[in-house]
Amino acid sequence: MNDSEQVIAVWGERGFRETRVRLRVYKGHTYFDVRRWAAGEGGDMVPTRKGICLNVECLDDLAQAVAQVRQQLKKNEDDHD
């Protein structure tokens, strides 16, 4: 597979500041990238340094961590009710 990328999801203020989730192939390795993008000087969206890029082998670990964060947030909400 050639070096390539696919945008999977985008949210935020489109055309000004947004978060993009992308799948990227670089030098034969597949990565997922979650990154903030902002409008550059010419108005084009450019990636910022705010984000993370990990090998897809880490995807299950990240999904498990996100599930744990959700559980903790729910517990915190229940504790405050």
Assign residue 34 the CATH number of its domain. Answer: 2.30.31.10
Instruction: Give the whole-angstrom CA distance, residue 7 versus residue 64.
Output: 22
What was the pLDDT predicted at 2? 65
- Please tell me the total count of domains within the chain: 1
Whether the model clears a pTM of 0.95, i.e. scores above it, the answer is: no
Any idea what the Cα angle at residue 45 is, between residues 42 and 49, rounded to 5°?
115
Which residues have C-beta within 8 Å of that of residue 31, sequence separation ≥ 6? 23, 24, 25, 53, 54, 55, 56
Helices and strands in the chain, H and E counts: 1, 4
3-state secondary structure of 81: coil
- What are the tens digits of pLDDT across the range 3-60? 799 999 999 987 789 999 999 999 999 999 999 999 999 989 999 999 999 999 999 9
What was the pLDDT predicted at 16? 85
* Structural domain harbouring 33: 4-80
What was the pLDDT predicted at 15? 77
